[in-house]
Amino acid sequence: DIQMTQSPSSLSASVGDRVTITCRTSQSISTYLNWYQQKPGKAPRLLIYATSSLQSGAPSRFSGSGSGTDFTLSISSLQPEDFASYYCQQTFNTPYTFGQGTRLEI
């Protein structure tokens, strides 16, 4: 199975800040990497797919980059609604594994 290492596990930031979350995989997955946002009590929401493609409806302040084993999710200017948990997911091989998550707090 492909192991996912996501960091940091939690992050404190302020409205307007730029933040970056990283995800490292145990083997190369090309660009088969997705990012999800989850708010408490809600289902996850797809933000970024195939490393850097923005899902329809997701704000343009979200961006993704990387390839191989190292990936990043960036939020250019934090808005109040961005405080949530974020998960990376690889779909290169089954089982499709998720990172441990990053909780973004005010």
Question: Which residues of the shown chain bind other proteins in the complex (CB under 8 A)?
Answer: 1, 31-34, 36, 38, 43-46, 49-50, 53, 55, 85, 87, 89, 91, 94-101
Rounded CA separation 38/60 (Å): 18
* Shortest Cβ 15–other proteins spacing (Å): 25
* Paired residues of 71 in beta bridges: 23, 66
* Shortest Cβ 89–other proteins spacing (Å): 8
**78 or 90: whose CB is closer to other proteins?**
90
* Shortest Cβ 47–other proteins spacing (Å): 10
**76 or 93: whose CB is closer to other proteins?**
93
* Paired residues of 49 in beta bridges: 53
**18 or 59: whose CB is closer to other proteins?**
59
